[in-house]
Amino acid sequence: MVRKPWTTPQEREWLTSRIPAFHESQEQKTGKDFYTKVCKEWEEAFPSQPLSDNAIAKAGSEEKALQGRKQKLNKVSALFLY
């Protein structure tokens, strides 16, 4: 069974376009700078929407709903680790 993608097609395209810069950062040993830049650019390109009451209720609490948002941002940097 195929897992549901965690990105939209637009987000996936955006991430894929950064692969050459990732390889360059690996060669130049500037990975930390790359991750910082990519995460900042991700937030600019795909700003987080305010949490809805429904999202909070579904997660069980506002804190848990925020954790879900942070997990997606963590996946952005983790995508380049593998």
pLDDT mean across residues, the chain: 85
Own/partner pairs, 11-16, CB within 8 angstroms, 24+ separation = 11/46, 14/42, 14/45, 14/46, 15/76, 15/79
Residue 15 counted as domain residue: no
Residue pLDDT, tens place only, 10-33: 999 999 999 999 999 999 999 889
Residue 48 counted as domain residue: yes
Question: What is residue 46's DSSP assignment?
Answer: S
pLDDT averages per 10-residue partition of the chain, 82 residues? 84 93 93 88 87 87 83 74 57
User: Which domain does 31 fall in, by range?
Assistant: 27-79
Query: What pLDDT shows up at residue 74?
Result: 76
Q: How many CB atoms lie within 10 A of CB 70?
A: 10
Counted domains in the chain: 1
**First and final C-alpha spacing in the chain:** 21
Residue 25 · residue 34 · CB < 8 Å: yes
Residue 20 counted as domain residue: no
Residue 7 counted as domain residue: no
Residue 3 counted as domain residue: no
